[in-house]
């Protein structure tokens, strides 16, 4: 049968690669013959051959003695994929389409395997295939495909390489843990693979960042979904440990990625993961030296870095949807009707379970609140650059009053999430940290809250406290802001009812 | 309904694949038993660093015939070591990704003879690359034309002499004597002949 | 409350010395310590 013929050809390929080096002319001749003899001439054949090859690779893994070389076929298959991408001339189908076609077939075989085998599904051969594919692409593409003689082909391949990684990323997105829990650990190992993650982080023009954020979001969503307060399955704890190490590695190698993508990452981060949140928010641009945040002489307005506006890779304005116009109009010309429109649009149609500290459901659209707060901060910083600092460091500015109206119009839940969103912007010294520090300080001492003063102050203290009471790291902006409040003579925290009436809190605050 | 997906090769895989989309759109609130079991199974089969290692299908024999003991193991020993890097090393290559690997560190302890052996006998390998890196760190340069490693020796002369230093070149003769030899007086250094590593 | 990250950073090979900062993702064996017992071959290039 055709399938048997495909099996035979693939087996010969596997044997050939064990006998000669992969840059031997016989390897290229073999591939040429595969094409000439119609083994992979048409799309239909490519599909059939890919299916045969992946089935053989997985099958030979399952049948091999575990102590032997179990991945020979998978390694040979990944080498074939790379060779096919590099040596072929693409006319009817593009290189991208060709790769997607092969990966689609692999996806379907993978789906069938895990669907049929259930709990006895073994992720390893599929992991190995993609891992080897990444290793071999790295080898082929080294020094801008210097091994490719023809300059125009070389340029084609150079242009294609970022596509290669983004296509792999797209398929990894489809294999995410919520969809294929039986592949979870292989998946996390793949998104952090040494031949994938650093590459994606460093593609020119940040070409890999969108897909990376998507993949990290997939991971966080999985963790969020299955972290209920009391009964976190052990396996999910292990997932968390791995995720934490990966984020720490990213914070070390490419802090800029966390710096610029904090908004999207935090939108999907379970609120109970306090330390992980701090890890993401404490990322600082490479080579930046932080002034000591505990220094009594420190004036945030004197820190030179606070003049610089941090880059935000994904513009939160896209998440404002129907509120974009009212918010932007308010910032230009504030009016009570506009602020009311914003305040009444913050609720979701129903309750949603969420695991917070002290609450287990959410009825506000936290993503929308985060978007509004960050957007206002971005606009405020832009305004300051256009005009003067006094335009925004001003409790009468529309930037400030929009946020105050959200607090005064809102209930406890709204207030809590608005303050949380503000606290998320208190990071390394920059223009946003600087402005939001101003906002939070003034919220705290403001006399305009009337009967709601105690509640708002308590929410502010709680928000700052929960971020410094955890193990390190702590965000510079949080420490600076909290230190200022603790030292403030205008309003002694120790006299506030929610502090002095609760011995544990009084003790902690006194200690701080 | 697309004709491409009518392909009988895609059944039942396609159906299973579609099922996962349903789960993505409506994730379960609490983890069902089946999912927990699959997650456990994934944990048990978790790929390790050996699974993630670079594939090697064709084992290159030693590139130049050279006697070697049958008692030497074929596998390189690559143990994980998290000893901190010595901050006193100031060569820029000391701070690259290879300086932290155990192979990179072992190479820094090898003598020149061993480094040249690895370079000439393990061509095209990671080990050859590391040997080249180590030789570069030690000041040697590779000539692309004659495939030899060269070393520039700078000798400071006592004050009062016409020149302040004397430069002589050495090269490692890998083909005949397996020794470092002085270059003749007619040796001229041409930068373009040397590999930039 | 999280955990003390010092041993975690150490297991990753990340030093607290800001000057000695080196990249770790290029030699990353696995997200978990338990599956990181051997080193993995990083990318490298051998000139023709």
Neighbours of B102 (CB within 10 A): 16
Q: Is residue B87 within 8 Å of B116, Cβ to Cβ?
A: no
For residue B74, give how far its alpha carbon lies from the nearest alpha carbon of chain A (Å).
15
Contact between A342 and A406 (Cβ < 8 Å): yes
Q: Which of B52, B99, B123 sits opposite C29 (nearest CB)?
A: B52
Quickly count: other Cβ atoms within 10 Å of residue A48's Cβ: 20
This complex has an ipTM of: 0.93
Q: What is the reported pLDDT for A472?
A: 95
Q: How far is A188 from chain C (nearest CA, A)?
A: 7
Give kind and range of the element (H or E) at residue B166: strand B165-173
CA quadruple A439, A444, A450, A454: dihedral, nearest 10: 140
> pLDDT for A473-510, tens place per residue?
999 999 999 999 998 876 688 889 999 899 998 999 98
- What are the sequence ranges of the domains in chain C? 1-48
> B98, C23: Cβ pair inside 8 Å?
no
Q: What is the mean pLDDT of each run of 10 residues along chain B (197 residues)?
A: 78 91 88 93 97 91 62 57 56 79 93 95 92 96 96 89 88 94 91 91
Structure confidence at residue C17 as a pLDDT band (50, 70, 90): low
Question: Where does residue A197 rank: exposed (0-12), middle (13-18), buried (19+ CB within 10 A)?
Answer: buried
Least confident span in A20-34, A384-398, B160-174: B160-174
Contact between A350 and A302 (Cβ < 8 Å): no
On chain C, the residues whose CB falls within 8 A of the CB of B129 are: 44-46
DSSP state, B79? B
Sole residue written with tokens 């490519």: A46
Our CA-based measurement puts residue C11 at a distance from the nearest CA of chain B, in whole angstroms, of 7
The pLDDT value recorded for residue A230 is 65
Domain residue ranges of chain B, discontinuous segments joined by +: 1-44, 55-82+92-138, 140-197
**Which CATH number is associated with domain B55-82+92-138?**
2.30.30.1020
Tokens for A90, please give them: 């693409």
Count, in order, helices (H) and strands (E) of chain C: 1, 0
Q: What is the pLDDT of residue B150?
A: 97
> Which among A378, A279, A120 is positioned nearest to C9, based on CA atoms?
A279
* Dist. CA C18–CA B197, nearest whole Å: 27
8 Å CB contact of C43 and A138:
yes
Query: How many angstroms separate the first and last alpha carbons of chain B?
Result: 55
- Give tens-digit pLDDT for A172-183: 999 999 999 999
**Residues A125 and B27 sit within 8 Å (Cβ to Cβ):** no
Window A:201-230, CB contacts with B under 8 Å: 221, 225-226, 228
A151-206 pLDDT, tens digit per residue, is 999 999 999 999 999 999 999 999 999 999 999 999 999 999 999 999 999 999 99
User: Would the CB atoms of C29 and B128 count as touching at under 8 Å?
Assistant: no
Quick one: pLDDT at residue C12? Answer: 95
Q: How many CB atoms lie within 10 A of CB A289?
A: 8
Closest-approach residue (CA) in chain B for C17:
B87
Residues 35-74 of chain B with CB under 8 A from chain C are 46-50, 52-54
C contact set with A (CB within 8 A): 1-5, 8-9, 11-12, 14, 21, 23-33, 35, 40, 42-43, 45, 48
Q: Which residues of C touch B95 (CB under 8 A)?
A: 20, 22
Domains and CATH numbers, chain A: 2-197 (1.25.40.790), 316-511 (1.25.40.800)
- Note the residue count of chain A: 512
* CA angle, residues A112, A113, A118, in degrees to nearest 5: 105
Query: What is the rounded average pLDDT for all residues in chain C?
Result: 90
């Amino acid at each position: 049968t055709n399938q048997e013929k495909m099996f035979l050809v693939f087996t010969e390929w596997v044997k050939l690669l064990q006998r000669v080096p992969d840059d031997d002319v016989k390897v290229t001749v073999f591939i040429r013959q595969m094409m000439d003899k119609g083994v992979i001439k048409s799309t239909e054949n490519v599909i059939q051959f890919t299916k045969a090859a992946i089935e053989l690779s997985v099958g030979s893994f399952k049948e091999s003695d575990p102590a032997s070389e179990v991945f020979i076929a998978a390694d040979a298959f990944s080498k074939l994929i790379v060779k096919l991408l590099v040596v072929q001339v693409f006319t009817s189908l593009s290189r991208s389409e060709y790769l997607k076609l092969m990966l689609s077939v692999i996806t379907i075989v993978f789906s069938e395997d895990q669907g049929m085998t259930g709990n006895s599904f073994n992720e390893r051969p599929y992991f190995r295939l993609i891992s080897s594919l990444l290793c071999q692409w790295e080898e082929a593409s080294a020094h801008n495909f210097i091994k490719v003689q023809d300059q125009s082909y070389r340029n084609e391949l150079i242009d294609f390489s970022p596509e290669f990684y983004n296509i792999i990323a797209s398929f990894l997105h489809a294999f995410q843990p919520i969809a294929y829990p039986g592949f979870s650990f292989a998946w996390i190992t793949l998104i952090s693979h040494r031949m994938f993650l650093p590459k994606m982080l460093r593609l020119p023009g940040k070409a890999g960042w969108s897909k990376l954020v998507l993949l990290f979001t997939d991971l966080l969503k999985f963790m969020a979904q299955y972290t209920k307060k009391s009964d976190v399955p052990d396996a999910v704890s292990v997932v968390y440990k791995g995720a934490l190490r990966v984020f720490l590695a990213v914070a070390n190698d490419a802090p800029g990625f966390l710096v610029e993508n904090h908004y999207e990452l935090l939108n999907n981060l379970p609120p109970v993961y306090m330390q992980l949140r701090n890890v993401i928010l404490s990322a600082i641009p490479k080579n930046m030296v932080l002034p000591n945040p505990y220094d009594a002489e420190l004036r945030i307005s004197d820190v030179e870095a606070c003049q610089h506006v941090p880059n935000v890779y994904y513009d939160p304005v896209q998440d404002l949807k129907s509120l974009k116009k009212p918010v932007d109009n308010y910032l230009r010309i504030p009016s009570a009707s506009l602020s009311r429109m914003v305040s009444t649009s913050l609720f979701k149609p129903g309750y949603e379970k969420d695991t917070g500290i002290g609450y287990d459901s959410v009825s506000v659209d936290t993503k929308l609140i985060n978007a509004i707060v960050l957007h206002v901060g971005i606009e405020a910083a832009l305004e300051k650059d256009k005009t003067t600092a006094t335009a925004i460091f001003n409790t009468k500015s529309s930037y400030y009053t929009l946020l105050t109206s959200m607090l005064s119009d809102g209930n406890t839940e709204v207030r809590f999430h608005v303050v949380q969103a503000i606290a998320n912007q208190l990071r390394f010294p920059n223009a946003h940290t600087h402005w939001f520090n101003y906002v939070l300080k003034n919220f705290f001492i403001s006399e305009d809250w009337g009967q709601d003063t105690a509640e708002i102050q308590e929410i502010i203290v709680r928000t700052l406290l929960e971020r410094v009471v955890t193990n390190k790291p702590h965000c510079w902006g949080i420490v600076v802001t909290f230190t200022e409040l603790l030292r403030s003579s205008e309003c002694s925290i120790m006299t506030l009812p929610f502090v002095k009436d609760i011995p544990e809190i009084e003790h902690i605050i006194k200690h701080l | 309904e697309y004709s491409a997906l009518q392909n009988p090769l895609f059944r039942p895989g396609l159906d299973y694949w579609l099922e996962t989309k349903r789960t993505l759109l409506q994730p379960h609130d609490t983890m069902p038993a089946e999912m927990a079991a699959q997650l456990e199974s994934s944990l048990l089969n978790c790929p390790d660093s050996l699974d993630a290692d670079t594939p090697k299908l064709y084992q290159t024999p030693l590139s130049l015939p050279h006697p070697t003991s049958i008692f030497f193991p074929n596998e390189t020993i690559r143990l994980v070591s998290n000893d901190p890097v010595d901050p006193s090393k100031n060569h820029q290559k000391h701070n690259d990704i290879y300086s932290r690997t155990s192979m990179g560190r072992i190479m820094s302890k090898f003598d020149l003879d061993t480094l040249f052996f690895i370079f000439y006998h393990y061509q095209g390998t990671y080990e050859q690359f590391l040997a080249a890196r180590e030789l570069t760190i030690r000041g040697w340069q590779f000539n692309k034309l004659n495939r030899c490693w060269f070393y520039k020796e700078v000798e400071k002369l006592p004050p009062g002499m016409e020149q302040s230093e004397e430069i002589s070149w050495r090269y490692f003769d890998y083909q005949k004597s397996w020794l470092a030899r002085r270059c003749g007086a007619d040796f001229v250094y041409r930068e373009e002949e040397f590999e930039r590593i | 409350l999280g955990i003390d990250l010092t041993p975690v950073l150490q297991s990753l090979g990340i030093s607290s010395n800001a000057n000695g900062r080196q990249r770790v993702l290029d030699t990353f064996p696995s997200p978990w310590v338990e599956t990181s017992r051997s080193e993995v071959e990083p990318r490298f290039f051998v000139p023709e």
